[in-house]
Amino acid sequence: MDSTELGESEVFTHLTQALYEYGEQVRDMYRRKLLDADARASGKLINSVKAFVANRGIEFEVFLELEDYWKYVEQGIQPAGKYGNPGWKAYPFILKWIQVKPVLPTPNKKTGKLPTEKQLAFLITRKIVNKGIDRRPLLADSIETVNRYYMKELEEAIQKDFDTYAISVLNEAGKIVKI
């Protein structure tokens, strides 16, 4: 096979495999951090995380597929009037969250009665609207952690692919003689 017959998928086999493994490492680390931070109600976010590698010629990208609300966990929510605060639109999602995750309400200080699920959703939503939610950069931390030890693996994969390609080019040019 000469170098003109080598497709990108054959030239970059080691890099492609290393990037898939990298994506899986980030996915697994993110899931672990979500669990450690008790950032799960239904488990929907944790179970939705999938890693993909896209290849366009010599350009590679690693993608994570996540539930849309991941950004609210990651970046938090600013108080009302700031960009990114969903305001009262969050109410139905908060109500659903209360139904999925057993939230234990505290009794009203004056009456001693427990709020209903709808009342509790209203109270939580009002607090989010007024005070926001603190950010928990679990995905950014996961990427940083995996990058610390995985960049060496990616460098080695690129070197292996370069060596394979260089040998095929030299072989085609008759610069390598097998003995």
Query: Which amino acid makes up residue 101?
Result: K
Which sign, positive or negative, has the C-alpha torsion 150, 156, 159, 163?
A: negative
* Long-range contacts from 49-52, C-beta under 8 angstroms, 24+ separation: 51/20, 51/23, 51/24, 51/26, 51/27, 52/23
Residues 6+ apart with CB under 8 A from 1: 168
Give percent above pLDDT 70 in the chain: 88
Contacts of 118 (CB under 8 A, 6+ apart): 95
Higher pLDDT: 92 or 21? It is 21
Mean pLDDT of the chain: 84
Q: Radius of gyration over alpha carbons of the chain, in Å?
A: 25
pLDDT of 89 reads 80
pLDDT in tens, 104-131: 788 888 999 998 889 999 998 888 888 8
Cα 31 to Cα 45: distance, rounded to the nearest angstrom: 9
3 vs 153 pLDDT, higher one = 153
Q: Which two tokens stand for residue 94?
A: 């908060």
Three state DSSP letters for 72-94: HHHHCECCCCCCCCCHHHHHHHH
Paired with 106 in beta bridges are none
Domain residue spans of the chain: 3-71+135-172, 77-131
Query: Which of 24-28, 105-109, 172-176 has maximum average pLDDT?
Result: 24-28
What is the per-residue pLDDT across 118-172, written as a single tens digit (0 to 9) for each? 999 999 888 888 888 888 999 999 999 999 989 999 999 999 999 888 888 888 8
Global pTM value: 0.73
pLDDT at 130: 87
Between the ranges 99-103, 111-115, 171-175, where is the mean pLDDT highest? 111-115
Query: How much is the average pLDDT of 4-20?
Result: 73
Say what the pLDDT of residue 26 is. Answer: 96
For 32, the enclosing helix (H) or strand (E) is helix 13-36
Residues 123, 130: contact at Cβ < 8 Å? no
